[in-house]
Structures are given as structure tokens and as C-alpha cells.
Chains A and B, each alone.
Chain A
Amino acid sequence: DAGVIQSPRHEVTEMGQEVTLRCKPISGHDYLFWYRQTMMRGLELLIYFNNNVPIDDSGMPEDRFSAKMPNASFSTLKIQPSEPRDSAVYFCASRGPGQGSNSPLHFGNGTRLTVT
């Protein structure tokens, strides 16, 4: 049973470049979450989707960040243009249907982004 798959595992880019992070949720899961983890701020929820529809994007830091979920098996988080303060580990997580927030999230292994 494949878990949540994120790519790439590591991304190093220069300031001003566009960065795209990818996520494949667990098959059959209808919720998808994007989190960012830093030492300073801990784990922050950026945006989440239900049935491919964005429900809450209030955690997206600014307009440079955008997320899409074109179908049930794929989501992207894009940063354009990237800045050094975007350096963090970005996690994708998915949840199965039925129990709302009583059911656990399944996390991917994250993408470590470094912007120089």
C-alpha cells in the first residue's frame, strides 16, 4: 500500500526562480493538505482540499504561493518567484473519507526546499 508520495525530496533553487512541489495522495482519500515546517514557526497549514476543491487557503503566506488539485490523484504547490525565506520542509498529507477530522492524516516524507 503506497503512502503519500511527494517529489522531489530535495530542491535547491536560486531566489527568483519558480518552484513546483508535487504530491500524490493515497488512492481513495478525499482530503489533501499542504503543510510547511520550519524551526521558527513549526508546522503551518497552508491550504487544504476536499474532493479536489480548495476549502481553506488562509494559511498561504502570499500571492507568490499557489496550489492546485486538477484531479483526485495529484496536487501541486507552486512558489513564483521563490525567496530565501521560503526555505522549509513542505509536507503533503491526505485523509480518507467518512470520519472528518476524527480520522488521521497520512503524511508524505516531505520536500526540503532551499532557496539561495
Chain B
Amino acid sequence: GNSVTQMEGPVTLSEEAFLTINCTYTATGYPSLFWYVQYPGEGLQLLLKATKADDKGSNKGFEATYRKETTSFHLEKGSVQVSDSAVYFCALGSGNTGKLIFGQGTTLQVKP
């Protein structure tokens, strides 16, 4: 069945460091891929998405490219800020069922 695997956290970085959070997926067909972010005490918010192979989603300095050949959707940011500290979830859209399948989440902590 469809599944999403994220790198385990927590990830601890200094401010202005480069961020990569790995995400790989297993799916039939051509699912849409998403990154969601969860700040403390809040629900998940959509960060970015890509709906087909080679699409690049971007938002707030974060980027992720839909790589069909490697079944990956890694999240990157060139220079993280303390305010980026949160839990990041990779998700896969299951077209036939209308539901999202989430990875286990990766906690990012950015230190000043």
C-alpha cells in the first residue's frame, strides 16, 4: 500500500544553517505530495505541495521537488530561522480515496 517515510528527528541546527529533511514514498500511480508544518500547540498547516513529477513546491523559503525516479520529496531551506522550529510532516495524497497519508513527522529545533 501507499506509505511515506521521513528521516527521524530531532534535527537541531544553528540559525542560518542549511536544512534538509528527507522524505521518500511508496505509491501506485502519480500521487500529489505535500509538506505540512505544525507549530507548538497548533494544528498542521500546509507548507507547500507538488502535484506531478518534477514540480517544485515552494513557500516561505522552503522548497521541495517531486522526484519520481527516486520517489522522493525532500524539504530544503537555505537559511533557517529560530521561528522555523516546528514539526514537519511529509504527506501523500491518495487520489482514489481522497485521503492523505502522513509520515511520522520530523522535529526541527533551530538555536540562535
Contact = CB atoms under 8 A, between A and B. Distances in A.
Interface of A: 4, 31, 33, 42-43, 45, 48, 50, 55-56, 91, 93, 95, 100-102, 104-110
A100 B94 CA distance: 9
B57 to A, nearest CB: 11
A107 B44 contact: yes
Given A42-B104, A102-B93, A31 B44 contact: no
B98 A104 contact: no
B66 interface: no
Given A56-B99, A101-B32, 16 more contacts: A4-B43, A31-B98, A33-B99, A33-B100, A42-B103, A42-B104, A43-B89, A43-B104, A45-B101, A48-B99, A56-B97, A95-B98, A100-B95, A100-B98, A101-B100, A107-B44
Contacts of A42: 102-105
A43 B90 CA distance: 11
Contacts, number: 62
Interface stretch (B17-25, B45-53, B73-81): B45-53
A109 B46 contact: no
Interface residues of B, number: 25
Nearest to A6: B43
Residues of B contacting A: mostly:
strand
Residues of A contacting B: mostly:
strand
Given A42-B102, A50-B98, A102 B51 contact: yes
A4 B46 CA distance: 14
A95 B51 CA distance: 16
Contacts of A56: 97, 99
Contacts of B97: 55-56, 101
19 contacts: A4-B43, A31-B98, A33-B99, A45-B101, A55-B97, A55-B98, A91-B44, A93-B44, A100-B95, A100-B98, A101-B31, A101-B98, A102-B93, A104-B46, A105-B36, A105-B44, A107-B44, A109-B41, A110-B42
